[in-house]
């Protein structure tokens, strides 16, 4: 509640506040509309670039002409003054063209995000009484799918070139409706705010007078087009003659790509949410002159970091005030640790801080912030009650209105305003204004939820997130609630956490006490009572599991896979047991996933691997033979890399000593490859020669650290030498913010599991050197050389021969089906590669790892591939698809072998058939995917052994003719083994630097080996899936649709499996060979009848 002031404020004070703080009157073109102002710019600077999106650009003259042609088409379809036109398009130049055309035709546009849930899109179209929808061909199906039955303009199908491209000169007024933005509403439904041309006309002169925007500026379009910040960005450029650079989602979602884009395109002005800016480095942005933050509160450390690098502006303004009402500019002098103000009113804008009776508050007293002036909205579309409540008569300027923001604020003595929070339950998350009541209203529609409260909380970095608390009648999981809410709310309104309560905390007045709601529990939990180890073996297993999984306390009944373990971490368990002279086959951990079960299969071992230096010729393994068979262009440049960071810096000598030890300990890192008599010979060198390059760079005074690191690492990547054995490159970059250690290895000697071993040994060796100790690493496991010999023996064994019927059958039933490519291009190179990444939230990932697999006794790969089968089938219209599945290749096929801590390229790859031809229901699809994967002998390791190592006469029946166009590789929880005390991942370690999407890893002239490469990993507790493709074969929209469908199907699978109460077993869970799904169903049916 706001405090009523008992004392009347004297007239002198009122005059001072109104006259001084709101003295903002300035000239602006108040008789002109937005499109008229744009046409003036097009006439003044016709040949200047108006807009850029990826490889497309238009001049002002070209953009104006295209908008004129589309405007005429809209008029023919009946658009007149104040008609509402929906725009459902992807970010593009065409989107901006459509907006200008709507305004020129006299209409007002409603931007509708195509990623909104179906229900929300339907509501906006119906509530706004949209007369026409403008869309693109690839989005048009969505328009019809949501039930819209009005006229639809598909831009690609309109013959615009036949129409005149001259200006229309239709009569228009600055009070005409320009656009309607839908924001969150308290009733559970979004509300549309009506904005007129005059507010943007006022901003035109504000941009020029305050920011000094000229045609020389290049302005970034960051915001979603459904968010009013996009209007600010768009017209900051197009009404001043500057160039508008539209950033793709792909660029925005990668901070390094984002920084590179701004520099490469020499952007000068950008508007960002503070939460995004936190991830950028001011030293990296060399051309930027103005940085504007808006959408949520800025903080002192952030401003202090940026203010001496750019002109830093903090902007504030609700949608109802034409985007911006006040601005604050960081001073050049030192800031004290303070709350960042929202500043002073912009031109032709007035701000008032009032009590509940709308009386002015004194300086320093809190009150509700109200806004008046030229930018004020007309009101809410079809909501006269809410309009009357929020847009009230201005008691200080007779005849005008002012908007009650609901924000709590106070005047500072210098005439600036400090934002203090919300009066109501509205919050801002990542720049989006959200009514918590709308989310609560949606949650209460779930049939099991009796009560629901949503609050905004802050994480450890002071970033806000939403947390929902609920009381349910029956058991309901967070995933179920999230899936339900996702059908009705956009992604930015979905709570990050859902907390089940027995009862809501109440105040003495019987209202919900929001302050007493508990913090969400971020830690991993299991539902089983803890049962302690009973003997030494179980104690060792528990200790090893705790180390590998990062969980503090694990009992003997806890399931390894339910705790988040996977096959890669199973290898880490086996490796660590070796230090106790214990041996465990990873397949036993798969079959017996609790400590109490698997302890029976742990064996003592006295056999020691050779601890000496391995030298001499080494047979090529199947994956290495595949590599040389491909004969890639620049095959010396086919690497894996990573960049580590240490804020307090690395000791160069300690790093050198650690690396010396690692290269003597891990023999495969010393390989060379030479041609002898037309064939490749792999040779393991000793310790005589220079084994690696270690370079140091002092960048402490460098103006662009990122660019310097980028250029040097690119050079190092391309300087590998297979013949001389220069396969390891190390560079240490010293900067003012800490040191970055670049590590690159040719893929011939390194794989995903090898990186985990390397990081563990590097942390151990480095810390031992710093402590003045001798370096002692865990004992060597069997050498890569011995592994290759044993594989060669296995290649012609009777055991492997027994796999041949499986592969024969697969080749006979599987069909080579092509993906639906947008362009037929042969011989695409790595330079044409692009990436799209989708992910799951941390909570969803935890459910995938720790809950979903129990329903059908699956592994994570079973569920990931089940989702992939559904997504690819939906996309390609094929009911079966053959994929190339990559595995870690360290399967237990050789009894005596132990390679759990051996570095080298062990990867296996093999064809997998995802067959949906007989599947009708999701449970059947999950079970069939699991069973088909279980039927693959020894996780596929034998397929390429047969192809490359088995004598030809022993496998004549196999053609190896399958040519999958999709490769899938799940790398597991890659960052789980990092020793955070020693180092962490550097921000310059671009994306998943081990996969096909790793930046600069592969030569740009190297050939693409599959059309679509899909890599999964868990980083920071979140599952990330990267789709890598060639822009010469696929359009971005096609892969975007596939990736979103994949995420949709994966979420459905997680929800289904998490909801399932009983465990349902499949034939592979039983020891009876050859048992089929149908036979097992009959057995269970018979048992049920007998028991009844």
What pLDDT score was predicted for residue 4? 40
Identify the top-confidence range among 543-552, 879-888, 982-991: 879-888
What pLDDT score was predicted for residue 431? 62
What pLDDT score was predicted for residue 703? 80
CB atoms within 10 A of CB 498: 24
Contact 143, 135 (CB under 8 A): yes
Position 496 pLDDT exceeds 90: no
991 is a domain residue: no
Token pair recorded at residue 1041: 């649709």
Q: 855 and 720: one domain?
A: no
pLDDT digits (tens, 9 = 90+) for 61-76: 999 999 999 999 999 9
What pLDDT score was predicted for residue 330? 93
pLDDT digits (tens, 9 = 90+) for 161-214: 999 999 999 999 999 999 999 988 766 689 999 999 999 999 999 999 999 999
Q: 429 and 414: one domain?
A: no
Position 602 pLDDT exceeds 70: yes
Token pair recorded at residue 622: 């199947």
Q: 621 and 552: one domain?
A: no
214 is a domain residue: no
From 604, 637, 661, the end of a domain falls on 604
Position 495 pLDDT exceeds 60: yes
What pLDDT score was predicted for residue 1075? 57
The CATH number of whichever domain residue 159 belongs to comes to: 3.40.50.12780
Q: 298 and 339: one domain?
A: yes
Which residues does 382 contact at the CB level (< 8 Å), separation at least 6? Answer: 127, 129, 192
124 CB-contact burial (10 Å; exposed 0-12 / middle 13-18 / buried 19+): buried
From 134, 163, 196, the end of a domain falls on 196
pLDDT band of residue 14 (cuts 50, 70, 90) is: low
Q: How far is CA 980 from CA 110, 768, 975, in A?
A: 48, 16, 10
Contact 22, 48 (CB under 8 A): no
DSSP letter assigned to residue 749 = G
Q: 13 and 92: one domain?
A: no
Question: Does residue 1037 sit in helix, strand or coil?
Answer: helix
pLDDT digits (tens, 9 = 90+) for 228-281: 999 999 999 999 999 999 999 888 877 878 999 999 999 999 999 887 887 788
Q: How far is CA 930 from CA 222, 598, 882, 889, 1067, in A?
A: 42, 22, 16, 19, 10
Contact 983, 741 (CB under 8 A): yes
CB atoms within 10 A of CB 902: 25
- d(CA 421, CA 407) in angstroms, rounded, equals 6
Taking residues 456-462, what's their average pLDDT?
Answer: 66
The CATH number of whichever domain residue 582 belongs to comes to: 1.10.1200.10
Position 619 pLDDT exceeds 70: yes
Token pair recorded at residue 727: 């396969």
Position 7 pLDDT exceeds 60: no
211 is a domain residue: no
Q: 640 and 755: one domain?
A: yes
CA atoms within 13 A on the CB side of 405: 32
Token pair recorded at residue 447: 């049939």
Q: 9 and 48: one domain?
A: no
What pLDDT score was predicted for residue 1078? 57
Position 10 pLDDT exceeds 80: no
Token pair recorded at residue 1037: 């929209």
986 is a domain residue: no
What's the chain's average pLDDT?
87
Position 560 pLDDT exceeds 60: yes
Q: 906 and 942: one domain?
A: yes
Which helix or strand (DSSP H or E) is residue 863 part of?
helix 860-876
Minimum mean pLDDT among 104-113, 278-287, 590-599: which range? 590-599
Taking residues 570-589, what's their average pLDDT?
Answer: 80
Position 1083 pLDDT exceeds 60: no
From 419, 450, 485, the end of a domain falls on 419
SS3 track for 934-1000: HHCHHHHHHHHHHHHCCCHHHCCCCCCCCCCCEEEEEEEEHHHHCCCCCCEECCCCCCCCCCCCCCC
Taking residues 1033-1043, what's their average pLDDT?
Answer: 93
SS3 track for 755-790: HHHHHHHHHHHHHHHHCCCCCCCCCCCCCHHHHHHH
Minimum mean pLDDT among 139-153, 559-573, 686-700, 712-726: which range? 559-573
How many folded domains does the chain comprise? 7
What percent of the chain has a predicted confidence (pLDDT) above 90? 52
What pLDDT score was predicted for residue 774? 85
pLDDT band of residue 8 (cuts 50, 70, 90) is: very low
Contact 372, 400 (CB under 8 A): yes
Position 993 pLDDT exceeds 50: no
pLDDT digits (tens, 9 = 90+) for 287-344: 999 999 998 778 777 898 899 899 999 999 999 999 999 999 998 776 665 778 999 9
What pLDDT score was predicted for residue 1085? 53
Position 351 pLDDT exceeds 80: yes
What pLDDT score was predicted for residue 633? 92
535 CB-contact burial (10 Å; exposed 0-12 / middle 13-18 / buried 19+): exposed
Q: 965 and 1042: one domain?
A: yes
What pLDDT score was predicted for residue 508? 64
pLDDT band of residue 5 (cuts 50, 70, 90) is: very low
Position 977 pLDDT exceeds 70: no
436 is a domain residue: yes
What pLDDT score was predicted for residue 704? 84
Domain that holds residue 359: 1-25+247-419
- d(CA 1042, CA 965) in angstroms, rounded, equals 15
Minimum mean pLDDT among 16-20, 493-497, 810-814: which range? 16-20
What pLDDT score was predicted for residue 2? 40
| Torsion of the alpha carbons at 847, 848, 850 and 852, rounded to the nearest 10 | 90
User: 254 vs 44, which has greater pLDDT?
Assistant: 44
Q: 643 and 719: one domain?
A: yes
Position 763 pLDDT exceeds 60: yes
Nearest alpha carbon to residue 67 among 32, 29, 108, 38: 38
Q: 159 and 267: one domain?
A: no
Position 1079 pLDDT exceeds 60: no
The CATH number of whichever domain residue 819 belongs to comes to: 3.30.559.30
17 is a domain residue: yes
Nearest alpha carbon to residue 841 among 1047, 993, 1077: 1047
What percent of the chain has a predicted confidence (pLDDT) above 70? 90
- End-to-end CA separation in angstroms for the chain: 64
903 is a domain residue: yes
DSSP letter assigned to residue 795 = T
What pLDDT score was predicted for residue 877? 86
37 is a domain residue: yes
pLDDT band of residue 364 (cuts 50, 70, 90) is: confident
User: 920 vs 494, which has greater pLDDT?
Assistant: 494
Taking residues 394-406, what's their average pLDDT?
Answer: 93
DSSP letter assigned to residue 360 = B
pLDDT digits (tens, 9 = 90+) for 667-711: 999 999 998 888 999 999 998 778 888 999 999 888 888 888 888
The CATH number of whichever domain residue 456 belongs to comes to: 3.30.300.30
Position 884 pLDDT exceeds 60: yes
pLDDT digits (tens, 9 = 90+) for 1042-1065: 999 999 999 999 999 988 878 888
Position 493 pLDDT exceeds 60: yes
Residue 920 φ/ψ, nearest 5 degrees = -120, -25
Taking residues 835-848, what's their average pLDDT?
Answer: 89
Minimum mean pLDDT among 66-75, 436-445, 850-859, 1065-1074: which range? 1065-1074
pLDDT digits (tens, 9 = 90+) for 918-962: 777 899 999 999 999 999 999 899 999 999 999 999 988 899 999
Token pair recorded at residue 976: 């789980």
Q: 596 and 662: one domain?
A: no
pLDDT band of residue 524 (cuts 50, 70, 90) is: very low
Which residues does 683 contact at the CB level (< 8 Å), separation at least 6? Answer: 616, 617, 618, 671, 672, 673, 674
Question: Does residue 359 sit in helix, strand or coil?
Answer: coil
């Amino acid at each position: 509640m706001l405090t009523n002031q008992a004392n009347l404020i004297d007239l002198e004070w009122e005059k001072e506040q109104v006259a001084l703080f709101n003295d903002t009157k300035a000239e602006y073109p108040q008789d002109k509309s937005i499109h008229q102002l744009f046409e003036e710019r097009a006439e003044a600077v016709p040949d200047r670039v108006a807009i850029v999106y990826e490889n497309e650009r238009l001049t002002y003259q070209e953009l104006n002409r295209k908008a004129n042609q589309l405007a005429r088409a809209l008029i023919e379809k009946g658009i007149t003054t104040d008609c509402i036109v929906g725009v459902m398009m992807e970010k593009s130049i065409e989107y901006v063209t459509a907006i200008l055309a709507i305004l020129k035709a006299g209409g007002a546009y409603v931007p509708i995000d195509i990623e909104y849930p179906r229900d929300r899109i339907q509501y906006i179209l119906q509530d706004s009484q949209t007369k026409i929808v403008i869309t693109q061909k690839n989005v048009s199906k969505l328009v019809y799918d949501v039930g819209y039955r009005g006229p639809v303009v598909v831009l690609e199908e309109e013959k615009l070139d036949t129409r005149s491209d001259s200006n229309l000169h239709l009569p228009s007024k600055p009070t005409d409706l320009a656009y309607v933005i839908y924001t969150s509403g308290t009733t559970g439904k979004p509300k549309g705010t009506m904005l007129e041309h005059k507010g943007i006309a006022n901003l035109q002169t504000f941009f020029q007078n305050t920011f000094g925007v000229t045609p020389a500026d290049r302005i970034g379009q960051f915001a979603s087009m459904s968010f009013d910040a996009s209007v600010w960005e768009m017209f900051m450029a197009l009404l001043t003659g500057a160039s508008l650079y539209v950033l793709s989602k792909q660029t925005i979602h990668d901070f390094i790509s984002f920084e590179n884009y701004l520099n490469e395109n020499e952007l000068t002005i950008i508007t960002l949410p503070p939460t995004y800016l936190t991830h950028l480095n001011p030293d990296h942005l060399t051309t930027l002159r103005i940085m504007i933050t808006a959408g949520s509160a800025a903080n002192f450390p952030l401003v202090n970091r940026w203010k001496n690098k750019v002109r830093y502006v903090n902007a504030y303004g609700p949608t109802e005030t034409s985007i911006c009402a006040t601005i604050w500019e960081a001073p050049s002098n030192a800031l004290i640790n303070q709350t960042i103000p929202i500043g002073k009113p912009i031109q032709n804008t007035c701000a008032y801080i009032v009590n509940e009776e709308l009386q002015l508050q004194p300086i320093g007293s809190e009150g509700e912030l109200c806004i008046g002036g030229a930018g004020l909205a007309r009101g809410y579309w079809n909501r006269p009650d809410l309009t009357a409540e929020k847009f009230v008569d201005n008691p200080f300027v007779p005849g005008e209105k002012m908007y009650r923001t609901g924000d709590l604020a106070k005047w500072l003595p210098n005439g600036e305003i400090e934002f203090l929070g919300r009066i109501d339950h509205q919050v801002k998350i990542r720049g989006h204004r959200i009514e918590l009541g709308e989310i609560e209203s949606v949650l209460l529609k779930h049939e099991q939820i009796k009560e629901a409260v949503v609050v905004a909380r802050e994480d450890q970095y002071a970033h806000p997130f939403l947390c929902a608390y609920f009381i349910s009648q029956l058991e309901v999981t967070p995933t179920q609630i999230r899936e339900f809410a996702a059908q009705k709310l956009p992604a930015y309104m979905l709570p990050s956490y859902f907390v089940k309560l027995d009862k809501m905390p109440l105040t003495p007045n019987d209202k919900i006490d929001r302050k007493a709601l508990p913090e969400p529990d971020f830690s991993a939990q299991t539902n089983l009572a803890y049962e302690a180890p009973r003997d030494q073996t179980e104690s060792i297993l528990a200790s090893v599991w705790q180390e590998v999984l990062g969980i503090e306390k694990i009992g003997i009944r806890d399931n390894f896979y339910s705790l988040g373990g996977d096959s890669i971490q199973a290898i880490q368990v086996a490796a660590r047991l070796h230090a106790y002279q214990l041996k465990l086959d990873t397949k036993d951990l798969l079959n017996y996933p609790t400590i109490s079960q698997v302890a029976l299969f742990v064996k003592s071992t006295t056999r020691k691997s050779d601890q000496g230096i391995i030298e001499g010729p080494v047979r090529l393994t199947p994956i290495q033979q595949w590599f040389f068979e491909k004969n890639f262009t620049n095959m010396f440049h086919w690497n894996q890399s990573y960049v580590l960071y240490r804020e307090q810096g690395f000791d160069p000598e300690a790093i050198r000593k650690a690396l010396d030890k690692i290269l003597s300990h891990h023999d495969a890192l010393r390989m060379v490859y030479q041609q002898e008599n037309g064939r490749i010979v792999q040779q393991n060198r000793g310790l005589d020669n220079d084994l690696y390059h270690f370079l140091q760079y002092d960048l402490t005074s460098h103006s662009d650290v990122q660019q310097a690191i980028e250029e040097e690492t690119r050079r190092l990547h391309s300087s590998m030498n297979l013949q001389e054995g220069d396969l390891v490159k190390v560079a240490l970059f010293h900067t003012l913010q800490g040191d970055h250690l670049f590590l690159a290895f040719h893929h011939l000697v390194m794989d995903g599991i090898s990186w985990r071993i390397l990081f563990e040994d590097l942390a151990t060796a480095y810390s031992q050197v710093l402590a003045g100790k001798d370096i002692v690493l865990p004992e060597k496991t069997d050498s890569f050389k011995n592994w290759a010999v044993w594989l060669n023996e296995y290649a012609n064994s009777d055991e492997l021969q027994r796999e041949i019927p499986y592969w024969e059958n697969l080749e006979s039933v599987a069909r080579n089906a092509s993906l639906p490519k947008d362009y037929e291009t042969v011989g695409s190179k790595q330079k044409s590669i692009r990436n799209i990444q989708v992910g799951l939230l941390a909570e969803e990932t935890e459910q995938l790892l720790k809950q979903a697999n129990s329903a059908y006794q699956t592994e994570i790969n079973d569920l990931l591939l089940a989702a992939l089968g559904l997504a690819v089938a939906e996309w390609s219209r094929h009911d079966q698809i053959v994929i190339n599945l990559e595995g870690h290749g360290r399967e237990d096929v050789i009894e005596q072998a132990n390679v759990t801590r051996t570095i080298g390229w062990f990867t296996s790859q093999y064809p997998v058939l995802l067959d949906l031809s007989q599947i009708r229901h999701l449970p059947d699809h999950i079970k069939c995917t699991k069973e088909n994967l279980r039927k693959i002998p020894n996780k596929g390791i034998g397929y390429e052994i047969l192809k490359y190592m088995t004598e030809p006469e022993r496998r004549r029946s196999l053609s190896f003719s399958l040519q999958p166009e999709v490769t899938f590789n799940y790398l597991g929880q890659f960052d789980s083994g990092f020793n955070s005390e020693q180092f962490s991942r550097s921000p310059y370690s671009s994306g998943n630097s081990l996969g096909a999407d790793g930046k600069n890893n592969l030569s740009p002239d190297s050939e693409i080996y599959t059309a679509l490469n899909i890599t999964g990993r868990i980083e920071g507790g979140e599952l990330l899936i990267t789709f890598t493709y060639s822009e010469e074969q696929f359009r971005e929209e096609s892969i975007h649709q596939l990736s979103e469908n994949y995420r949709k199907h994966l979420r459905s699978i997680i929800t289904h499996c998490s909801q399932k109460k009983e465990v349902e077993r499949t034939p592979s869970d039983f020891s009876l060979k050859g048992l089929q799904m149908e036979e097992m169903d009959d057995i269970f049916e018979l048992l049920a009848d007998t028991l009844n």
